[in-house]
Amino acid sequence: MFRSILQNLVTNAIKYTPFAGNAITISAQPLQGMVEICIQDFGVGMSTETRDMLFGRTSYASLLGTNQEKGSGLGLMLVRDFVMQHGGSINVESELNKGTCFRFTIPIAD
C-alpha cells in the first residue's frame, strides 16, 4: 500500500508539472511517532474549490494534466483510504500556478 501511495502522488506531481518545469521534491520528517511525507510540485496548482472536493465521497475532482492527460480522481481516493488504513492522515496545500503539496503521515515502522 505504501508503494501505491507514493507512486500515485509522484505520478500526479509529474502530470501537473509543465515540461522542463521545476523539480518535484519529496521530503520526510518524524512527527509524534509518525513519519510525515510531503510530495511537492511547482506545477499548475488548483483552485480552492477543486482542492476542497478532492477527497469527497461523491464528487471526484480531476483536472487535465499539462499534456492534456485525463484522470478520474479515483487514485486519490485510494491514496486516502490506504493512508487511513495505516492510521495516518492526508491533506493538500495548493495555489493556482504555484504548485501543490500532498502531505501524509504513516506510523514509524519498528
**CA-CA distance, 107 to 110, in Å (whole number)?**
9
pLDDT of residue 43: 86
| Phi, psi angle pair for 87, to nearest 5° | 80, 20
Determine whether 57 is exposed, middle or buried from the number of CB atoms within 10 Å of its CB (0-12, 13-18, 19+). exposed
Beta-strand pair 90-95/34-41: unpaired
The residue with greater pLDDT, 79 or 109, is: 79
pLDDT band at 56 (very low <50, low <70, confident <90, very high): low
pLDDT greater than 60 at residue 69: no
Distance CA 94, CA 66 (A): 16
Q: Which three cell numbers stand for residue 104?
A: 501524509
- Share of residues in the chain with pLDDT > 70 (%): 80
7-18 pLDDT, tens digit per residue, is: 999 998 888 887
